[in-house]
Chains A and B, each alone.
Chain A
């Protein structure tokens, strides 16, 4: 069944969108990631204009994170204070990101910027995750399960404006979390992702937050930052396609439920290796597109690019 998307102005198969949503949903349920970093490139591949894909994906992430954060609120694993600090940084970052996005769009370089961001971040995160999980896998085979030592007495603790975060059991400066939030906000606006794949490692390794509050807190921040990004894109670029968002979402939510069941039955180390391989595969595909001579050297954009 073909469906005409009112804002993207392209006609696509509704079942393809539901299927894509479902597939990414399964992966996000299995690995506990948002899946924006997979969905946005997939939308490029099926011919959705990049600007629409990025803006619509932000809208979808709001909704898919919403049901997630409710579950974490019930379990009281959201550090609201830390979330708010991350959020303030995130909102500033998102505004900055949209400004950069619109500026590069006028230069005709937005596709390059988005692709480069994806290659760099997916490459770094995927590579680190791959090495780390391979090591963990090797250790678990040897039967030695040494708990990772957390060094918390670094530069993070030497900064001013200290604040007490009770839920996380931390007493640290607000500057590092605000900066992490800001950085993730920029990425969210440019790449159409929630940024969990950057924020979660940063919260664990950089801020030293306990693992159990990390996911809920990052979801809390992601909801508000992506909602803000959606509003910015909707009011400056008019590129949020609500029909596309809903189709992806319905597939995504159902997929996520199935993914959670599969994920619970698989060993954690193997899951991490798989996720790392997946991230590196997406990264490799995007990198190849930049390196190999494209079959069509020309591209069309709407006029009046000044």
Chain B
């Protein structure tokens, strides 16, 4: 009886503990419009820690900001030399890999987030990629997951920038997340974690809407929904442009 009461108490206590420090967040923009001359975007993430009680003593408050793009399965292929030329041979399907993933932290990630918490919240880039179904018969399935990270880091789609979140008086924080020009559209999730001594004390989540707009939107939708008309339109536009340009040039020369 007493035991059960204690368990119940503990269950009540833990969420109460979690809301002791709460995130109040602001974003410089909660939507990114991909226009024809879209050249990347920088989103300012800033906020404050709301608390009823005085600042707890002990390890200082640290902040982690993680922004991830829509996830999709990715086929990773490895090249091998066959008959003197390099060809794709083995392939592994990585179940879920975000199209974009950026982490900004207020201190080195492994110091402010324990492995267990990382596993629970999937914060680091390695954890954000899931390859549960990776075939075991292919040697070094981990190599394939590493390749996804390496290639996407090279294309600045994945990044981890430590010590880039500024925290003032354990209350105010701010950082900026750079988004490259080659973005895919979708709902991007921004997660903010407050940690103390390696464990997460509070978490906040919001979405950033990344959408093609205007002409980009129109052409993309048309190419998927009315492919026949899109194809015909492409031909007509291309022929008109080519014919127009050559006629204009001929008139210019005369």
Binding site for B on A (CB under 8 A): 1-4, 6-7, 9-11, 59-60, 62-64, 66-67, 70, 108-109, 111-112, 227, 230-231, 233-235, 238, 240, 242-243, 245-246, 249-250, 252-254, 256-257, 290-294, 296-305
Contacts and interface: CB of A to CB of B under 8 A. Distances in A.
Interface residues of B, number: 62
B29 interface: no
14 contacts: A1-B37, A3-B37, A4-B34, A6-B212, A59-B234, A62-B235, A63-B238, A235-B228, A238-B223, A252-B242, A298-B79, A298-B151, A300-B147, A303-B75
B238 A245 contact: yes
Contacts of B212: 6
A52 to B, nearest CB: 11
Contacts of A254: 245, 249
Given A234-B227, A238-B224, A299-B79, A249 B242 contact: yes
- Tell me which of B74, B212, B235, B238 has the highest count of chain A C-beta atoms within 10 A of its own C-beta: B238
Contacts of A249: 238, 241-242, 245
A234 B77 contact: no
B77 A243 contact: no
B156 to A, nearest CB: 12
Contacts of B181: 2, 4, 10-11
A28 B232 CA distance: 26
Given A66-B243, A294-B79, A299-B76, A227 B235 contact: yes
Among all A-B residue pairs, the 9 with the closest Cβ atoms: A303-B73, A234-B231, A11-B181, A63-B242, A298-B147, A63-B238, A253-B245, A301-B75, A2-B39
Contacts of A11: 38-40, 181-182
- Tell me which of B93, B150, B242, B245 has the highest count of chain A C-beta atoms within 10 A of its own C-beta: B242
B88 A62 contact: no
Interface in B205-254: 212, 215-216, 219-220, 223-224, 227-228, 230-235, 237-239, 241-243, 245-247, 249-250, 253
Given A253-B242, A298-B79, 15 more contacts: A3-B36, A4-B35, A4-B39, A6-B223, A10-B181, A11-B181, A111-B88, A235-B231, A245-B238, A246-B237, A249-B245, A250-B245, A293-B86, A296-B151, A298-B151
A243 to B, nearest CB: 7
Given A108-B91, A112-B87, A59 B235 contact: yes
B230 A112 contact: no
A64 B238 CA distance: 8
Contacts of A227: 235
A291 B246 contact: no
B36 to A, nearest CB: 6
Given A63-B239, A253-B249, A297-B78, A305 B184 contact: no
B136 interface: no
A294 B86 contact: yes
Given A3-B37, A60-B238, A300 B231 contact: no
Contact of B242 (A9, A66, A297): A66
Given A230-B234, A235-B228, A242-B237, A63 B75 contact: no
A1 B35 CA distance: 13
